[in-house]
Structure 1
Amino acid sequence: MTNNQISLVELIQFFAQYRNNIIINIKHLQEDYQRTGIKRIRGVRNEKGELLQPWLITEFMDDTDYVGMGEFQFNRNTATINMLVKRRVKLAKFEDPTPTIEVAGLLVNDLNTFNNYTIVSDGKINVKSLQAKISSKKLFDLLKEKGILDAEEFDFRAEHTIQLDNLPLVVANSRYSSIDGLFNELAEIKVLTSIICAHLKNESDVFIETQLDEFKKHYLSKNIYINFPTINEYIDINEALANGTLDSKFSYKIDIGSQDILNLSKLPSANKFLNRMYRLYDKETGEIIIKPSFETAFNQNLAVRPRLLSSRTKITKVDELMKPIFDDFLGLEQNGIVGGILKKVGADSLGQLLRDKQTGKQIDKEEIVAALTVASKKLEQYAENIYQDKISPLVFYIGSTGLLPDQMEAKAITADEAAAKYPNLQFSKDEQEGNFFAVGDSIISIYAKTEYYTKKVPILNHL
């Protein structure tokens, strides 16, 4: 059945709206599914290369052919759409089926595992069809009207084949929001999020240290997500490529940047920048901490000062972006940038605590950890909303059509031409072979990167 009334993106918007009224035949999806990345298996390898299995395994609690419709996610810098499927599992011992019911005073007999299925990969359909049951007559009528279903009458017992590979990926002549100013906003949020996450690496606003240790022992994160150690299925990548276990492909990346910083990957981690630009020292002895990190920030005996930079140190535009945020957060300079970001995302409680700390007020550790945790979630959600609303749809359009939208009139230039016009830009090896477009105050980069994936094999168990 050929259909030109609706694009795949529009269909996925319907799926997202009615996802609680759709169940997917997971066995059908797995039978023909082709991985788009490298398969990883649970465990670690010893010095002899032998695989050591975790002492726990997971078992499905929903032994059925059907699972709930997953959540759809657009990749941030490729024309890729993933469907995140959630399934209920329980923990059990590897050597015998004894279930693990309780860990650190918490019931863990009803956990979730999450598996990503790539529906569209780099602008190409990766899943040709979905077999599904629909429990909403309103959705059934809507999909029938759009030519997606050919069944005559609504029947909630019936399984429908929803063909995806005959749909255009996007609507022709689509229009997209302006991206002016978005890079700097996202960059500031990323820097502050990185600082906060570095503080919280081994902290929890709910559990104490001994409970976190118990979670790690049972392969659980502090958010009670399953977190088994995994490794690549192969040992030697060249051998895997030679014997056909792996194959390679070009993945086209689309990045948004400014005229000074090409993309967000140019920003170093919070701890790396801390080590580059600052010194942590003991307030009583003056002893310098050799490898400073924000994990030690709760130590009341430590203080921070700017690092004395040598004449050979080159200050970059990345440094100029990050340093005011760090200076404000660390209390070295009161420029208001951190408070402004936190207020914008609705996390001003952390801003008030930081202001109190800068005036010399003693802040309870549990209070600051709780405020940092809330702020981290709100910052990430704010950034995610920008990506989903304004950037990811644009990236998907460019990656799937190879064109900029009609309203974005810009001529492609090479890396050499971009470097000559915008001398602060820094290019990776892959980026040097790309094309660049100046759109307003932003730079859109399009470049190819080699990626590897595990050849198609039957997938019987995604755990």
Structure 2
Amino acid sequence: MSDNKFSLVELIQIFGQYCNNIIINIKHLQEHYQRTGVKRIRGVRNENGELLQPWLTTEYIDNAEYVDMGEFQFSRNAATINMLVKRRVKLAKFEDQTPTIEVAGLLVNDLNTFNNYTIVSDGKINVKSLQVKISNKKAFDLLKQKGILDAEEFDFRSEYTIQLDNLPLVAANSRYSSIDGLFNELAEIKVLTSIICAHLKKESDVFIEAQLDEFKKHYLSKNTYINFPTTNEYTDISEALANGTIESKLSYKIDIGSQDILNLSKLPSANKFLNRMYRLYDEETGEIIIKPSFEMTFNQNVAVRHRLLSSRTKITKVDELMKPIFDDFLGLEQNGIVGGILQKVGADSLAQLLQDKQTGKQIDKEEMVAALTVANKKLEQYAENIYQDKISPLVFYIGSTGLLPDQMEVKAMTADEAAAKYPNLQFSKDEQEGTFFAVGDSIISIYAKTEYYSKLISVGSSVHSMLN
């Protein structure tokens, strides 16, 4: 790999800078696209395996040849880059195509759908080229200077082919910032986000319960995203593998962890941890709630205490990480950890409400739901910035080159060696076959997972839709 060869990652940075000045030939992309996952189709199957279609469907408002360049996203734990392309659609009845104009007092006749196209999959180019038009001369000149375009003169009418498969994925001299401390920061954010999401599962800061019921009936989430039920195209995976409808591949995952917790997947959901470590009970009757969930804590009569653990319960490093956050949020211990996280991400309103609640002040439910919703967005954005700035580029480099960056030259360990040195680590079946690197106070894991994909060439899968 040449030191001065322009890389795909650098090209995508230019695409991001000039995304409003570049349009893509979507028909060309669809015609040459190979799925990297299993195709899913709308509907649910009954007991006989018959497909039952949703009563609504979507139609493209435009049948455009060109669409705006999508947003590029790096995977958090694989050498994969996706491009989300936005298209305008409308809801209509499946049977007679009658348009659905309004749901729960909201106009839904102009929606956006996002189609997900995998540009790089596990370190391999999946889209060989893009056909584009460029409306900004500065963007044209920059791409020409980098050797991406061979046209002499800028012409906004012309379609240019941008080859992706002749570029190195990353620059040979790439350097990456330290990841020390990032896992613990992300783990704390994930725990708090999980608690907040558990509270908000059936709550909205905008719509009432009857409106949410109408949304559900029309396949809309509380955030007005289209949420059609989907199922696999096949009914029997063995048969689908045998006849070539789907094929399997090894996908290499790169995870960041600590010397105590291998990766974030080891953290259980908020409600699962609540059930493991706490008891919810009725303050008036003392009756224990059998299946506790955070939604129940909105009820003024519900109180919480620590669960009496048996001598056989083993307290893990995951428990030690999560319990202080739960204790502080639930008001069982005032250690300041939740307030510190919330203030760091700018979610001061929730921090204040929780502080008020701990002093015995009655908190209005609507005010709490609004504060939780704002905090959730800020926490997720803060975590996303860490991934996109510091973790995903490193993950992509490792996954596409098979190497750690030069400044991270450390000895590789097997799972047995890592377990002997760091006895608190827990390994899944796939992770037991992996390779591990101790980098500062972090552990980088590289392991393979078997994944399946639909063999036939077809258009990108719609991942979500939302109102304008």
Same fold (TM > 0.5): yes
- Aligned residue in 1 for 2:58: 58
2:321 is the alignment partner of 1:321:
yes
Letter in 2 for 1:253: K
Cα shift at 1:461? 8.8
Contact 2:69 2:85 in 1 (8 A): yes
Per-residue deviation, 1:421: 0.3
Residue by residue, what CA displacement relative to the aligned partner does 1:48-86 show, whole Å, maximum 9, x if unpaired? 111000000100012111111000000000000000111
The SS at the match of 1:407 is helix
Deviations 1:91-128, CA, capped at 9 Å, x for gaps: 00001121100000000011111111000000000000
| 1:18-29 pair list within 5 angstroms | 18-29=18-29
Residue deviations 1:421-462, cap 9 Å, x none? Answer: 000000000000000000000000000111001102343996
Is structure 2 residue 243 aligned with structure 1 residue 243? yes
Query: 1:276: which partner in 2?
Result: 276
C-alpha deviations, 1:222-252, integer Å up to 9, x for none? 1111110001111111111011001000000
Give the TM-score, by structure 2 length: 0.97
Once the two structures are superposed, the pairs formed by residues 66-77 of structure 1 within 5 Å of their partners are: 66-77=66-77
Which residue does 1:346 correspond to in 2? 346
**1:149 corresponds to:** 149
CA–CA separation in structure 1 for the residues paired with 2:417 and 2:80: 29
What SS does the corresponding residue of 2:250 show, helix, strand or coil?
strand
Matches within 5 A, 1:78-89: 78-89=78-89
* CA distance in structure 1 between the aligned counterparts of 2:408 and 2:135, rounded to whole angstroms: 41
Mapped to 1, the partners of 2:298 and 2:280 lie a distance apart of 12
8 A Cα contact 2:3 2:171, kept in partner: no
| Match in the other structure for 2:119 | 119
Query: Does residue 209 of the first structure (1) align with residue 209 of the second (2)?
Result: yes
Q: Is the 8 A contact 1:74 1:393 kept in 2?
A: yes
Partner of 2:456: 456
Counterpart of 1:292 in structure 2 is: 292
| Residues 3 and 147, structure 1, Cα contact 8 Å, conserved in 2 | no
1:410 maps to: 410
Distance 1:413 1:26 in 2: 45
Confirm whether residue 398 of structure 1 aligns to residue 369 of structure 2: no
Distance 1:198 1:221, change over 3 A: same
Q: Which amino acid aligns with 1:158?
A: S
Give the % identical residues: 87
Question: What residue number does 1:389 align with?
Answer: 389
| Contact 1:112–1:226, Cα closer than 8 Å, also in 2 | no
Matched, 1:5 2:5: yes
Residue identity matched to 1:342: L
Corresponding position of 2:466? none
Q: Does structure 2 retain, via aligned residues, the 8 Å contact 1:33–1:456?
A: no
> Does residue 137 of structure 2 align to residue 137 of structure 1?
yes
For the residue of structure 2 that corresponds to 1:100, the secondary structure is: coil
Task: Give the secondary-structure state (helix, strand or coil) at the position aligned to 2:251.
Answer: strand
**Could you tell me whether the CA contact under 8 Å between 1:5 and 1:147 is conserved in 2?**
no
Instruction: Measure the CA separation in 1 of the matches of 2:396 and 2:284.
Output: 55
CA-atom RMSD in angstroms: 1.3
Deviation at 1:3, TM superposition (A): 12
1:173 Cα offset (Å): 2.2
| Compared CA separation, residues 3 and 23, structure 1 to 2 (3 A) | farther
Do the aligned residues in 1 keep the contact of 2:198 with 2:294 (CA within 8 Å)? yes
**Alpha-carbon distance between aligned partners in 2 of 1:269 and 1:22, rounded to the nearest angstrom:** 41
**Which letter maps to 2:396?**
F
Displacement over 2 Å in runs of 4+: 2-5, 456-463
The alignment partner of 2:6 has SS state of coil
1:328-350 Cα shifts (integer Å, max 9, x gaps): 00000000000000000000110
1:110 aligns with 2:110: yes
- 1:230 is aligned to 2:230: yes
8 A contact 1:3–1:148 mirrored in 2: no
1:23–1:134 Cα contact (<8 Å) kept: yes
Structure 1: how far apart are the matches of 2:140 and 2:353?
A: 52
Structure 1 alignment gaps of length 5 or more: none
Show the counterpart of 2:265: 265
**CA–CA distance in 1 between the matches of 2:373 and 2:148?**
43
C-alpha contact 2:35 2:458 (8 A) present in aligned 1: no
More relative contact order in 1 or in 2 (CA 8 Å, sep 6+)? 2
- Counterparts in 2 of 1:294-309, with a 5 A limit? 294-309=294-309
Instruction: Report the Cα offset of residue 324 of structure 1.
Output: 0.1
Rounded Cα–Cα distance in structure 2 between residues aligned with 1:211 and 1:39: 32
**Cα contact 1:79–1:396 (8 A) shared by 2:** yes
Q: Given the superposition, is the C-alpha separation of residues 354 and 421 from structure 1 closer, same or farther in structure 2, using an over 3 Å criterion?
A: same
CA distance in 2, matches of 1:92, 1:3: 53
Q: Give the Å deviation of 1:4.
A: 5.9
Name the CA distance, whole Å, in 1 between partners of 2:3 and 2:79: 21
- Counterpart of 1:375? 375
Residues 460 and 286 of structure 1, relative CA distance in 2, 3 Å threshold: closer
Question: Residues 462, 276 of structure 1: CA spacing in aligned structure 2 closer, same or farther, 3 A cutoff?
Answer: closer
Give the structure 2 partner of residue 255 of structure 1.
Answer: 255
In structure 2, how many angstroms separate the alpha carbons of the residues matched to 1:246 and 1:237? 8
Which SS does the other structure have where 1:58 is aligned?
Answer: strand
In 1: Cα distance, 2:90 partner to 2:294 partner: 35
Q: Counterpart in 1 of 2:181?
A: 181
Q: Count residues in correspondence.
A: 462
Retained in 1: the 8 A contact 2:114–2:462? Answer: no
Q: Secondary structure of the equivalent of 1:432?
A: helix
1:447 paired to 2:451: no
Q: Counterpart of 2:328 in 1: which secondary structure?
A: helix
TM-score, structure 1 normalization: 0.98
Q: Is the 8 A contact 1:4 1:168 kept in 2?
A: no
Q: 2 CA distance for matches of 1:248 and 1:419?
A: 30
